[in-house]
Amino acid sequence: MIRVSVALIRPLAVRTVAVSDPHDLLARLPDAAPYAWVRHGEGLVGWGEAARAVVPPGPGRFEWARGWLSSLFEGAHIDDEVGMPGSGPVALGSFTFDADTPGSTLVVPRVVLARRGGRAWLTTVGDDRLTLATPPVPPGRIRYGDGSLTAPEWEHRVARAVRRIRDGALDKVVLARDLTAVADRHIDPRVLLARLADRYPECYTFSVGGLVGATPELLVRHTGQSIESLVLAGTAARGADASEDAARGMALFASEKDRHEHACAVASVREALTPLCADLDVPDHPELLVLPNVQHLASRVTGRLSDGASVLDVVAAMHPTAAVGGTPTGTALAVIRELEGMDRGGYAGPVGWIDARGDGEWGIALRCAYVSGDRARLFAGCGIMAESDPAAELAEAQAKLRAMQYALEG
């Protein structure tokens, strides 16, 4: 059954006005289910719901989402004095990793506050106004527990995946693991967002529908006809000092396993974008992206669309990339369903925003957790190749989980 609700206002009456610089967007969020997409202090935050759609699962879910948004936005009364990507009505969304899994949502907030390129603006739907923010309260002591699998069980699944790869069934598969957390008090997403944005400014800090995180991976940025994607695959932990850090970075560049994993991810993005683009620039070699907890091999892909495709059309073509699924895609998804032992929900799925022009930014929901009350479910994943060692993959997953553990613990 398709569940769609448009709250209170039909058609939408949208007004965007320029405002003075709010400086810290996240500090303006009230004590309510927050929406956020922020990097280096720029982006947007929102609250309230003018419209919400629970997107039906299935292979046509992105097309359905675009159709619903088009109908909603085309019928809206829009007064936009700013005229920038992200002004006017904006929907934030989170799509499940698996197309057949329910839980994908799109929400048009009643209030959106944004800043970009030296400008700031406020969008309201109906008569809503700014709500005063109350001070966020840290969650207190955190107790962790096993998720769907214990660490030894997960290592055993990795070993099974390695055998499948060595037998020639596939080249790569990404296996995720989860971790549960229980806090002394209600977990305020604003606390997590502020900590993540402060520690990981290079990442896209996000909050949509209870899924909170800071992803380093930009699936696509769509501005006019221009698109950009940041491909990450191949990971190493940070070193204890500058010398060890540099050595680990050099080892990552020299790793045949990691370079091959990265090449698979880049190839999947090239294959997805080529039919949509009149021009596409794919780097011949990756660069190193250094984050506080890990280092990644990274390639920035840019292009120009050949027609008027919206950002959701590009997301539909790209997801799932080899970086979060595997190669070949169909076989990898089957192995994930068999071996992972859990429902990823929105983990490793697309998360981001889209405006009425079809512009937007969408990332892959990594370094994230589902937050509800005093509980959180944390996720991390690793690209499994023929050379993978289960113990090393477990250590990599634990390094990636530390991002959200930091957000919870401070």
* Catalytic machinery residues: 172, 217
Cα–Cα distance for residue pair 363/287, rounded to 1 Å: 19
Dihedral (CA of 290, 294, 299, 303) sign: negative
Q: Are strands 77-80 and 51-55 parallel, antiparallel or unpaired?
A: unpaired
Residues 87, 159: Cα–Cα separation, whole Å: 48
Say if residue 328 is preceded by a cis peptide, omega within 30 of 0. yes
CB of 79 within 8 A of CB of 15? yes
Give CA–CA dist 273/282, Å, rounded.
Answer: 10
Query: Under 8 Å CB-to-CB from 334, ≥6 apart: which residues?
Result: none
In the structure encoding, which two tokens stand for residue 105, read together? 């949502």
Phi, psi of 305, rounded to the nearest 5 degrees: -65, 150
CB 336 within 8 A of CB 112: no
